[in-house]
Amino acid sequence: MPEKVVLAYSGGLDTSIIIPWLKETYGYEVIAVTVDLGQGEELAPLEEKALKSGASKIYILDKKREFVEDFIWPTLKAGAVYEGKYLLGTSFARPLIAKCLVEVAEKEGATAVAHGATGKGNDQVRFELSIKALNPELKIIAPWRLWSIRSREEAIDYAVARGIPVPVGKERPYSMDRNLWHLSHEGADLEDPWNEPKEDIYEIITPPEKAPDKPTYITLDFEKGVPVAIDGKRLDPVALVERVNELAAANGVGIIDLVENRLVGLKSRGVYECPGGTVLYIAHRELEHLTLDRQTMHFKEMVAAKYAELVYDGNWYSPLKKALDAFVDSTQETVTGTVRLKLYKGNCTPAGVRSPYSLYSEELVTFGAGGDYDQRDATGFINLFGLPLKVRAQMEMRTGLRK
């Protein structure tokens, strides 16, 4: 009996040709695994396609709810944004896919797992670190680091020679990744950072210029940092993300264009459609402004940067990530309330926020009289706070350092 290998299968160009390559190169029985994270209609032809490509069977696993609850929400609560722009849509999808690969491999008695990540990208690290953390006994095969194919054009030719249809042509050879959180685009004309993305690249978001001339107002309710309702209607996690996606996309919100620093040392340019994610991050941040004290908020900003780096680098299952989750969850105890937002031609603007745990006191902050605040107290505070500067200045004047 041939050994079994479990392949992370998307039906895209790379994984389409990996099935025959694994069989031709190693004689493996190939078991395809597709994880439904919200790819939509992309999933419909995958079973027939995988079997025709040579897989012995295919698992299509619906993990959308787990994706939102166990991967999106923790990252949102952390406020993690990589390099100030990237909302980590591909980064936190990979550890969940890897978890499913390991589970199927253990069920099927497979000795190896394989993925279609290129040797130049981050996904190879994310897949393999997760697999090592979950089952270090499994062999990992990364064809892009082993075969002689060196370009997407050569990969297309390989597929055509074996009669394998692929959802990409040489006239539109973008590498795309889609899930509930985002749709990413890389490659082709986007490889030159000077090129503005072509308008027809967008498959989810209405270009801002074509968005409605009238703004859309929405409200989002949070409980302990987790979104639970939109416009007063409670929805399950998947339905909520889908609804926010719909409203934000219609108003041109969520286009992210960035040149990012890959873990492997390269800079890459990607264009991301992340409508709902953009809105949810802005809303969550606005609520934290109201409910977190200054020290906690400022320290959490540092944690958020480290958290984003860990997720981006593939360290989802690391001890540090687990420890940071504990800190983040502690900070979210009072991040409960409602945020109103204005969506208009590519912009998402906070338009109101309230919380039963608000630390904002209108009575204290008012320019009028009122509140238990005595401005005279500021004199002593400023004298003590500024004392080191005063002592330093006196020394400079006494010693002639100040000219």
Determine which one of 10, 53, 123, 268 is catalytic.
123
Question: How many Å apart are CA 255 and CA 285, to the nearest integer?
Answer: 19
Residue 189 known to be catalytic:
no
Q: Is 36 a residue of the active site?
A: no
Give the residue from 49, 45, 48, 56 showing the smallest Cα distance to 15. Answer: 49
> CA angle at residue 271 from 131 to 37, to 5 degrees?
40
Closest CA to 125 of 101, 105, 95: 95
Under 8 Å CB-to-CB from 157, ≥6 apart: which residues?
none
Catalytic residue, from 14, 53, 126, 355: name it: 14
| Catalytic residue, candidates 53, 91, 130, 175 | 175
Q: Are 249 and 241 in contact (CB under 8 A)?
A: no
Catalytic residue at 262? no
Active-site position among 16, 91, 94, 355: 94
Regarding beta strands 139-141 and 347-354, do their DSSP bridges make them parallel or antiparallel, or are they unpaired? Answer: unpaired
- Sorted by sequence, the CB contacts under 8 Å of residue 68 that are 6+ apart come out as 180, 237, 238, 241
Bridge partners of 227, per DSSP, are 222
Beta strands in 279-329 (DSSP E): none
Say if residues 19 and 32 touch (Cβ distance below 8 Å). Answer: yes
How distant is the alpha carbon of residue 51 from its chain centre?
A: 31
Instruction: Give bridge partners of residue 139 from the DSSP assignment.
Output: 112
User: How does DSSP assign 356-392, residue by residue?
Assistant: TT----HHHH-SSS-SS--TTHHHHHHHHHTHHHHHH
Q: What is the DSSP letter of 197?
A: P
Q: Is 14 a catalytic residue?
A: yes
What amino acid positions are annotated as catalytic residues? 14, 94, 123, 175
